[in-house]
C-alpha cells in the first residue's frame, strides 16, 4: 500500500488539495494499483516555517501564493 506524504505551504484551497490527492492517486492507479490501496497525506506548513536559501519562505518568497 503506497502512502505518499506531500508537504505544501499553508493556504491551498480545499479544491486544490482535492486535485493533488486525485492526481497522485491516479499515478498509482495507472500503474495497476487499486485506488483503495493508495493513501495521500497532505502536510500544510506555514511559509514562516519553510526555509529557502537560509531564510523563511515568508521572507524569501513574499510574492509566491498558494493556488486557490
In degrees and rounded to multiples of 5, residue 49 shows phi and psi of -105, 10
- CA 41 to CA 63: how far, in whole Å? 26
Q: Mind listing the pLDDT tens digit for each residue in 6-21?
A: 999 999 999 999 999 9
Burial class (CB in 10 A: 0-12, 13-18, 19+), 61: middle
Nearest to 5 by CA among 49, 36, 38, 27: 38
> How confident is the model at residue 48, as a pLDDT?
95
Residue range 3-60 in CATH 3.30.429.10: yes
Range list of β-strands (E), 1-68: 3-9, 39-45, 51-52, 55-56
| Mean pLDDT, residues 1-6 | 96
When pLDDT is cut at 50, 70 and 90, the band that residue 63 belongs to is: confident
Give residue limits of the domains in the chain. 3-60
pLDDT at 5 over 90: yes
Residue 35 is predicted with a pLDDT of 98
Amino acid at each position: 500500500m503506497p502512502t505518499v506524504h506531500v508537504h505544501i505551504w499553508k493556504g491551498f484551497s480545499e479544491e486544490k488539495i482535492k486535485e493533488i490527492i486525485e492526481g497522485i492517486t491516479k499515478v498509482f492507479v495507472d500503474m495497476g494499483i487499486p485506488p483503495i490501496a493508495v493513501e495521500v497525506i497532505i502536510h500544510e506548513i506555514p511559509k514562516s516555517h519553510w526555509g529557502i536559501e537560509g531564510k523563511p519562505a515568508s521572507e524569501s518568497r513574499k510574492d509566491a501564493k498558494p493556488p486557490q
